[in-house]
């Protein structure tokens, strides 16, 4: 079938093109995309040195399923996810599908359990990559069955689509990884899409104090609307966030918080959660910072088995 798709050229640009999408084989699902989010990574994907169908946050309707698919059928409303677990590797067997050793969203054309067959998406008669294995900035996409989850009735597609990336990155960090407990104190640095969902997750877990930090007043207003109990404005010139960190400690009875999250994607801020957390607290760097230079950690010392913020 023909479909329109946003194709990144690998050199920083994109264009709307016509692609040919094939029928689902085996455990594959053909989805008509109804809404797709745009994440900051989509901007990065413009320069991934090869053409690809853009987009990795999508929701839509199942058009057709392969013969092995059992959990959805044509007409089902679904949300897509890009961590597509194989179900059989050591991580998946431990129940940590999010760490699947086979699913490699950044290496989309290597044959693996995460990919629908390469010939299933063609542009100019050649197979074309699907960003993060799902390529949601297209009218149609072909994905593995494990990439689709049925949506409850009544959830609008435009809301559902972002659950597949930004929402779960933040919410999952608070609920599944940190397992914030009722009454806990939490700090969240960076209140964009991911940070706001850390806040929502912490709020749903019943956190007692949720302290939002951002350099933008408007972001702090959003944070309060999404469940933060306090806002700390990072002021210009507070490069190392010393003042902001001191303010968080002051709000929290002169100590660090139980759980500190970073959601800025700014490499030099990757270590800040270590200074926001109390001794024995948990520091989480959520935004996937890639910093080949390493992370310097002033204000932190190694004890026998762990690092302790000072």
CA distances from 24 to 19, 48, 151, 213, 235 (A): 15, 26, 20, 46, 53
CB of 72 to Zn ion, least distance (A): 20
For Zn ion, give the closer residue by CB, 135 or 231: 135
For Zn ion, give the closer residue by CB, 113 or 186: 113
The Cα 250–Cα 269 span in angstroms is 20
The Cα 206–Cα 210 span in angstroms is 10
Chain center to CA of 153: 24
CB of 99 to Zn ion, least distance (A): 8
Collapsing DSSP to helix, strand or coil, 14 comes out as: strand
CB of 154 to Zn ion, least distance (A): 25
Nearest residue to Zn ion by CB is: 39
CB of 170 to Zn ion, least distance (A): 11
Phi, psi of 246 (to 5 degrees): -60, -40
For Zn ion, give the closer residue by CB, 68 or 119: 68
CB of 66 to Zn ion, least distance (A): 19
Q: Which residues bind Zn ion (CB under 5 A)?
A: 39, 41, 85-86, 89, 92, 100, 102, 165
For Zn ion, give the closer residue by CB, 89 or 308: 89
For Zn ion, give the closer residue by CB, 129 or 247: 129
Q: Which residues pair with 189 in a beta bridge?
A: 213, 262
């Amino acid at each position: 079938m023909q479909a329109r798709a946003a194709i990144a050229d690998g050199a920083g640009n994109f264009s709307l093109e016509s692609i040919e999408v094939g029928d689902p084989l085996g455990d594959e699902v053909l989805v008509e995309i109804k809404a797709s989010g745009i994440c900051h990574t989509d901007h990065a994907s413009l320069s991934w040195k090869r053409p690809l169908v853009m987009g990795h946050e999508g929701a839509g309707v199942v058009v057709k399923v392969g013969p092995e698919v059992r959990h959805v059928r044509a007409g089902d409303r679904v949300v897509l996810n890009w961590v597509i677990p194989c179900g059989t590797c050591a991580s998946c067997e431990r129940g940590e599908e999010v760490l699947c050793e086979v699913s490699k969203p950044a290496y989309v054309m290597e044959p693996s359990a995460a990919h629908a067959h390469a010939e299933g998406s063609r542009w100019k008669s050649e197979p074309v990559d699907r960003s993060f294995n799902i390529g949601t900035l297209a009218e149609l996409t072909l994905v593995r069955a494990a990439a689709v989850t049925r949506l409850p009735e009544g959830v609008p597609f435009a809301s559902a689509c972002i659950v597949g990336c930004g929402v779960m990155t933040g919410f999952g960090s608070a609920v599944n990884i940190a397992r914030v407990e009722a009454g806990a104190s939490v700090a969240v640095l960076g209140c964009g899409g991911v940070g706001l969902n850390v806040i929502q997750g912490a709020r749903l877990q019943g956190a007692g104090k949720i302290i939002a930090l951002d350099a933008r007043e408007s972001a702090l207003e959003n944070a309060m609307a999404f469940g933060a109990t306090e806002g700390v404005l990072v002021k210009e010139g507070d490069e190392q966030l010393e003042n902001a960190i001191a303010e968080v400690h002051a709000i929290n009875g002169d100590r660090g918080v139980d759980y500190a999250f970073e959601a800025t994607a700014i490499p030099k801020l990757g270590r800040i959660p270590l200074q926001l957390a109390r001794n024995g607290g948990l520091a989480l760097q959520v935004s996937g910072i890639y910093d080949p230079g390493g992370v310097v950690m002033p204000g932190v010392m190694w004890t026998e088995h762990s690092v302790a913020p000072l």
